[in-house]
Structure 1
């Protein structure tokens, strides 16, 4: 089934913040960015965000790191040198979520930031953003059978599955991996990975959301910022 291409993003404007009046901030060391504690809206929206938070199994490369702090300082990342997991194998991490309606379904876009994408020594690039879109039939339900499709990110696209995914309760199981010499991507797995503190797009301080909107992450793009959110949902067809 091909999802309707017309995008009616009912929460896009709700998730947008006023961008004016925020001073530029710094790009700081990859391990100096202080992330956010779990922060989601109260009520049903937050419950839905938490219910479908994916578990991430890191096969190789970096683990997720916070991309931005409360003051709007962003992660400077790492050059792709040394071991693929060098200086980036340990972090509490962060996972970001943004929701929106597209066609007949409700989408949850979960995203992770990684300081570098290095499939092997000397290959790859500084910064990586990957994630997964979880399509739901009902934006207010938190049951496993409410999931319509799970779509991990892969090189700017989204590889959707309606029946080939595994769950831990209601949490999709996702892996982060690379197959040499191709850069990292997300994919489906049956292995239960770890979780990170979840921060909702609409719960970010203005300084942080503005920084994510405006920071140049080089070859990596913030998938849930205003300029990219709708187009990414449009790519995630099933």
Structure 2
């Protein structure tokens, strides 16, 4: 299995459904974080990371319970214009799996635009970090590595840099170095955590309807798409 394919394009889960449209980015209400029930869900909540925003948009919910998706923002104005935080609260989306003997938990954030400065960049942005642990079922699982999404793939920190993990919390930074678009990296600066919603916590009907829709990457001018999907999980 190629992990990159496992983490590419989750339109199938948290994105548009066939008969639901898009709404203003600041009107999308997040899902409340469900009570974790399984070993994997409990581990995902335990290791939910913090994200610090150096510049640009803050993360927003991408989809609501009705299947309506964020319309995003044009790249007009300052990098953070119109996207300094949702009054409804934000969201982090997750999924986890075994990969080469390690447990990988992927956390993804949606941003209405990715704009290093006015008119540069694109509408919609997805960024994610993979937190690697030894085993979610042991009494005290440990973080082995952190791999934030970068422009050419991932930055890899195994073990994590000193100061970038506090307890069970990895810290990542969202930043653009002009004129390059935004990406994530590890940081020693604390940030905010969002309510987590996992793939398996979406009810089946919504997931099935979402799976019938066109890929989010076609709705995403960045062509990054949502980074979790069933498709390609068995590719080598």
Common topology (TM > 0.5):
yes
Cα deviation per residue 1:118-155 (whole Å; 9 max; x = unaligned)?
A: 011110000000010011111324646x2121000012
TM-score scaled to structure 2, two decimals? 0.83
Within 5 A, what are the aligned runs for 1:22-171?
A: 23-39=18-34, 41-91=36-86, 92-141=89-138, 143=140, 146-155=142-151, 157-165=153-161, 166-171=164-169
Higher relative contact order (CA 8 A, sep 6+): 2
Shift of 1:226: 2.5
Distance 1:105 1:77, change over 3 A: same
- Which runs of no fewer than 5 residues in structure 2 stay unpaired? none
Maintained 8 Å contact 2:2/2:233: no
Cα deviation per residue 1:145-173 (whole Å; 9 max; x = unaligned)?
A: x2121000012511110124321220101
Q: Which of the residues 176, 198, 201 maps onto 1:200?
A: 198
For the residues of structure 2 that align with 1:119 and 1:47, how far apart are their CA atoms?
Answer: 36
Shift of 1:225: 2.4
For the residues of structure 2 that align with 1:142 and 1:95, how far apart are their CA atoms?
Answer: 25
Maintained 8 Å contact 1:7/1:101: no
* SS of equivalent to 1:31: helix
Distance 1:109 1:156, change over 3 A: farther
* SS of equivalent to 2:25: coil
**Over aligned residues, Cα RMSD in angstroms?**
2.7
For the residues of structure 1 that align with 2:109 and 2:170, how far apart are their CA atoms?
Answer: 15
Maintained 8 Å contact 2:36/2:45: no
Maintained 8 Å contact 1:72/1:208: no
Structure 2 residue 227 is matched with structure 1 residue 223: yes
- Which runs of no fewer than 5 residues in structure 1 stay unpaired? 1-5
Distance 1:125 1:101, change over 3 A: same
* SS of equivalent to 1:68: coil
Maintained 8 Å contact 1:56/1:173: yes
For the residues of structure 2 that align with 1:226 and 1:81, how far apart are their CA atoms?
Answer: 35
